[in-house]
Amino acid sequence: MPAPPSLIDLGSGINTQDTINKLMELERTPIRRIEGENVGRNRKIKAWESLRKMTEDLASKSTDLHSIAGPFTKRLIVSSRPDAVSGTAINNAEAITQKIRVKQLAERHKIHTTPFPSENKLPSGSFDIQSGEKRLKLSFQGGSLSQFRDFLEAKASVLLQANLTNSGQGSQILEIESKTNGSAGKLRFHDPQGLLKKVGLLSKKNIKKELPFLAENLQGSTGEKGLSYKIQREGKSLALRRGSVKMLLPTSEKIQSLSNGNLQVKLIGKEVASKSRRENVRKGPVRKQSVRYGPEISIEVGPVRLTGKNISRTREISLGEEGESSSLPLIRTKLNLIYRSGGKEKSLSFDKELLEGQAKDVILPLKDLPPDSQIEGLSFQTDGGIEILSPSVILPQSIAPSHEIQGAKDAVLTVNGIPMRRTKNEGLEDVITGASLNLNKVTKEDVQIEIKVDEDKILAKVKEWIESYNLLLRSLRKGMKTSNETELSVAGGRSQSSRNQRGIFSADLTVRQLTAQMNEVVSSAYPVIDEQKGFHVLPDIGISTGKIGSNWKNIREGLLVMDETKFKDAAVQKPIALKNLFSSDTNKDRAIDHGVAYQMSEKLKPYNQASGGLISIRIELLKEKIRSSKDQIHRREEIIERKRKNLRQQFGRMEQAIKKSKNVRNYLNRFGSQPQNNQ
């Protein structure tokens, strides 16, 4: 409070203001004591707030370790060729290793026109565009190639994107790319008025359409040896032993029958007939053949000479009508061309006979099918064994894109030797359970993909937890510190003065209790499901208060240290046991109820709660005392001010009385000094 204005000096010669100020300073002694207490309380509030932040940080890191999305649940995909195959794994994915070979990347269908003169105009016309199951009927009103491109962008953007480039010499080329990945996105056109032919997008050409064997499109009979078929040569051939197999075409591959088209397939006899079929052998003339099994050789062993004689045998080989070997049994094979016509599924059958090792090209004319039919697939049935080479459809002089920059292709890969096809290269979530793969490059060898625990992330998170624990423990121990320190006095260096240093929390039971509970959490043993594979205490995984032989003073401090090598070994060798040490579900109710991290967060809850927490209560009590003491200071200041006013009044009256007395004295002195007249 500012000092009041000085009293007017009335000539008493006494410094009344200085006297009043000294008296007021004595009155303010209790206020200074209270203000000093408030300074200490504010220091404690800051210390408690810092402590609360540290407990909240440790609780947060503990929760992160035992939460369902914590580092122990994270999985990492390690690829031997990240440039070829990469990806990410979901939480808690099974740790497995797979071998993947990328044989073909998925590509979008991309075509372009022949150069079209810029000054030429296109006539009006209607046409259809189909990609997958989507089909658009479009009508163009005529115009330039640029206007046709704009028309496609506006009306067919759901199926494709169109770009225009200058080819030179006043011509332009229109490029069209499908927006759907893989074979399903192949662009198909129906051009009854010939508009697309005039723009140079379509033309007549021979088309050969390969129909590869895909595991997902095959249905085979099952016998003692499992399925009757086996895919070979990356889907280009199929080995079929005695039994049957049905090959269905995907929707995108189904073919409308054409009057001038043919479906061709090559059959090769592969399997020797069983004994029960050996009577089914062609008879014919025979010829004798001598067979020599090796040359004559000799060797000397000491004085003895050993000679190996040439061995020869004669066998009879039966001859067919043309002199060829025909002693092998016949392999009868039945082919069925499956098609749909009039809303019903029908088939066209063909019977073929093969000898072991014999190859036959089989041509199935599509002209034999009804005009409205659609090929659905093929089926093969054999009583022996055959190899079927990938069927193909030859469509001569068919309407097709004039220039194909990039064919509509599916991604082709093998997983542990099992062939697969996918329509895209990125985000493949159905190849390996729990993983999303990206195919980046074709490979000639297997790429090893391993889903594993991310031990580096676990290590980083646990190290952060240890640092947070140590920071809080240091602060607690510093606050509880009580020690006597003796210092030499500055003057002379002989006399000594003793000073008792006490921590800010030295007498606080709450802090001592918190320290004890933290120590209990990190030093306790925890239950494990499997005694041979589990960890009971933190030192089992390389976390302790010090290595064997460390300084006892450091160990006594209780700060945690980590042996990173031992911890990483635990993370790699026993990831589940490591997780269970920090967070476990002991009663199998799918809720975490035990573990170091869980217990730490539970022990800290009563302290760091924003409302009703022990630290918050301490802070509020200190703030309340400060508010109360400020009120007390205010009341004392008012009392002191009243006393100041009273003193000023009293000293004022005293000054006036003294001045009056001085005036009387001066008057009398003057009167007594005047000369008297004698009469």
The confidence score (pLDDT) of residue 677 equals 57
Q: Which residues pair with 304 in a beta bridge?
A: 301
Tokens of 623: 């703030």
pLDDT tops 70 at residue 273: no
Last residue of a domain, one of 179, 200, 221: 200
How many domains, the chain?
Answer: 3
Burial class (CB in 10 A: 0-12, 13-18, 19+), 395: buried
**What would the pLDDT profile of 392-446 be if each residue is shown by its tens digit?**
777 766 678 888 888 888 898 999 988 888 989 999 998 998 899 999 999 999 9
Say yes or no: 344 and 383 in one domain: yes
End-to-end CA distance of the chain: give it in Å, rounded: 69
Q: Out of 163-172, 193-202, 251-260, 621-630, pick the least confident.
A: 251-260
Rg of the chain's alpha carbons, rounded to an integer? 50
Could you give the CA distance from residue 524 to residue 541 in angstroms, rounded to a whole number? Answer: 14
The confidence score (pLDDT) of residue 226 equals 65
**What would the pLDDT profile of 466-525 be if each residue is shown by its tens digit?**
999 999 999 988 888 765 444 434 444 444 444 456 778 887 888 899 999 999 999 999
Say yes or no: 482 and 538 in one domain: yes
- Parent domain of 119: 110-200
Burial class (CB in 10 A: 0-12, 13-18, 19+), 208: exposed
pLDDT tops 90 at residue 546: no
Sign of CA dihedral 62, 63, 64, 69: positive
Could you give the CA distance from residue 227 to residue 220 in angstroms, rounded to a whole number? Answer: 6
Say yes or no: 270 and 145 in one domain: no
CATH code for the domain in which residue 219 is found: 2.60.120
**What would the pLDDT profile of 335-390 be if each residue is shown by its tens digit?**
888 888 888 888 888 888 888 778 888 887 777 788 778 888 888 888 888 888 87
**What would the pLDDT profile of 283-312 be if each residue is shown by its tens digit?**
455 555 554 444 555 555 555 555 555 555
**What would the pLDDT profile of 86-119 be if each residue is shown by its tens digit?**
999 888 888 889 999 999 999 999 999 999 998 8
Residue in the structure block whose two tokens are 């090796």: 294
Could you give the CA distance from residue 500 to residue 486 in angstroms, rounded to a whole number? Answer: 8
The confidence score (pLDDT) of residue 154 equals 93
Say yes or no: 419 and 374 in one domain: yes
Say yes or no: 315 and 432 in one domain: yes
Q: Does 100 fall in a domain?
A: no
Q: Does 130 fall in a domain?
A: yes
Say yes or no: 570 and 437 in one domain: no
**What would the pLDDT profile of 146-158 be if each residue is shown by its tens digit?**
999 999 999 999 9
Instruction: Tell me the H-state helices in 544-613.
Output: 552-557, 564-573, 575-582, 596-608
pLDDT tops 60 at residue 84: yes
Q: Average pLDDT of 568-573?
A: 87
Q: Does 55 fall in a domain?
A: yes
Say yes or no: 148 and 257 in one domain: no
Say yes or no: 384 and 354 in one domain: yes
Tokens of 353: 């006979």
Q: Does 79 fall in a domain?
A: no
Last residue of a domain, one of 156, 177, 200: 200
Q: Does 304 fall in a domain?
A: no
The confidence score (pLDDT) of residue 518 equals 92
Last residue of a domain, one of 599, 615, 631: 615
Question: Quick one: which H or E segment has residue 39?
Answer: helix 29-66
Could you give the CA distance from residue 99 to residue 111 in angstroms, rounded to a whole number? Answer: 35
Sign of CA dihedral 464, 468, 473, 474: positive
Give the pTM. Answer: 0.59
The confidence score (pLDDT) of residue 306 equals 56
**What would the pLDDT profile of 51-75 be if each residue is shown by its tens digit?**
999 999 999 999 998 887 788 888 8
As separate numbers, helices (DSSP H) first and strands (DSSP E) second, the chain gives 11, 37
Burial class (CB in 10 A: 0-12, 13-18, 19+), 60: middle
Could you list the beta-strand ranges (E) of 342-385: 344-355, 359-365, 374-382
Could you give the CA distance from residue 635 to residue 639 in angstroms, rounded to a whole number? Answer: 6
Could you give the CA distance from residue 99 to residue 455 in angstroms, rounded to a whole number? Answer: 22
Say yes or no: 332 and 240 in one domain: yes
Say yes or no: 128 and 180 in one domain: yes
Tokens of 416: 């542990």
Say yes or no: 193 and 242 in one domain: no
Q: Does 87 fall in a domain?
A: no
Q: Does 660 fall in a domain?
A: no
Q: Does 589 fall in a domain?
A: yes
The confidence score (pLDDT) of residue 275 equals 46
CA dihedral of residues 213, 215, 216, 221 (deg, nearest 10): 100
Q: Average pLDDT of 185-205?
A: 89
Say yes or no: 313 and 337 in one domain: yes
